[in-house]
Amino acid sequence: MDKPEKPKRAPQFFTVPAGTPAKQCKSETCAKVIYWITTKAGRRMPVDCDVEGGVRPTPIYDPRQLDAFKAPGQVTHDGRGRSHFETCKDAARFRGD
């Protein structure tokens, strides 16, 4: 008798605060842009915003810096993405459970 397939759960999205710096995944086969956030449980987690339904956060505008590409009062927004542990091919190598 075959085992029934586990139902797939809907992807969980996490908020990435505006101004969160972008990093690059250290996996040689992945190298995606990720954002490190702190979860409600106080743990650090990498988030991939380059997924379907994801949005990259904007940098926070600092009026003390002169930038020809940003207008004073420019709107910033938080990003959203999925845990990079779900999207990275080499996640098991880096996961510290």
Domain map (residue ranges) of the chain: 13-57+76-92
Q: Residue 52: its pLDDT value, please?
A: 93
Residue written as tokens 């040689």?
28
67 — pLDDT class (breaks 50, 70, 90): low
Compute CA 64 distance to the chain's CA centroid, rounded to the nearest angstrom: 27
CA distances from 90 to 25, 37, 39, 70, 96 (A): 10, 19, 21, 37, 13
Record the pTM: 0.73
Q: Residue 69: its pLDDT value, please?
A: 60
Burial of 50 (0-12, 13-18, 19+ CB in 10 A): middle
